[in-house]
Amino acid sequence: MSQLLQNKVAVITGSANGIGRTTALSLAESGANIGLLDFDQGRLEHVCAEIHELGRKAVSVPLDCTNGVHVASAFKRIRESLGEVDILVNGVGQSARERMTDFANANLDTFDFLIDVNLKSCVLCSHQVAAVMKARRAGKIINIASESAVNGSPRCWDYGAAKAGVIGFTRSVAQELAPFGVNVNAIAPGPVRTQAIDKMEKGLIDSIIAEIPMRRIAEPEDVANAILFFASDQSAFITGQTLLVNGGHWML
């Protein structure tokens, strides 16, 4: 096992499935103790058990990450159980999925939901760690955005707007915390093989793959590897950046 994150405390939101689960296991394999936050209690407890099997400590807290009171309570529990947070991965988020529509015919209630789950959750959780990281003059905040924030994906205007907010938030907080040795970065994945992708028709998946120069959809491990880089001291002089993990589908 790698020791890149030996005895660090990492909190991963949205860690019950997909990218979040894979990231939690990756950081644990690299030596970190893990705080797990997600709405899916059953899956969350399963991931917690997987981390214990790796010989690392883990605490799981089922909650709604858009609720400020619940978020504050969850971080209090994690601090009491594991110690101060060294690494925060804001992974909670989703697209409109079956409610996806063009802007002209949009139900703006969906927009409110996407802003809450993608951007507000990121702000609430980051606020729980920023002051302590600043005082300790160390810390890593990694926010999960999306290539939809930069490529103008059709029928993703609401999701793209929310994730563009994540990128803007990342850059502003990075500026504030950089003098105190705290790194704040974002990762913007393209299509990733998660439950949402697996539910798509094969023809649609094939058409997505055809547009990606590397001719495949990302695996959760591809994103987790990028997160591990930002979580480690290997990225010590990188802050305020957005890394596209998309097989070359969109290039900045």
| Model pLDDT, residue 4 | 94
Note the pLDDT of residue 152. Answer: 82
Rounded distance between C-alpha atoms, residue 201 and residue 65, angstroms: 30
In this structure, the number of other CB atoms found within 10 A of the CB of residue 222 comes to: 20
Residue 155 has what pLDDT? 84
pLDDT at 57 (0 to 100): 98
Catalytic residue numbers, as ranges: 159
All structural domains of the chain with their residue ranges: 9-241
- Residue 204's pLDDT is 79
CATH 3.30.300.250 fits 9-241, yes or no: no
Using CA atoms, how far apart are residues 249 and 150, in angstroms rounded to an integer? 11
Q: What is the mean pLDDT of each run of 10 residues along the chain (252 residues)?
A: 90 96 98 97 97 98 98 98 98 82 85 96 98 98 96 86 97 98 97 76 81 91 98 98 93 76
Neighbours of 143 (CB within 10 A): 29
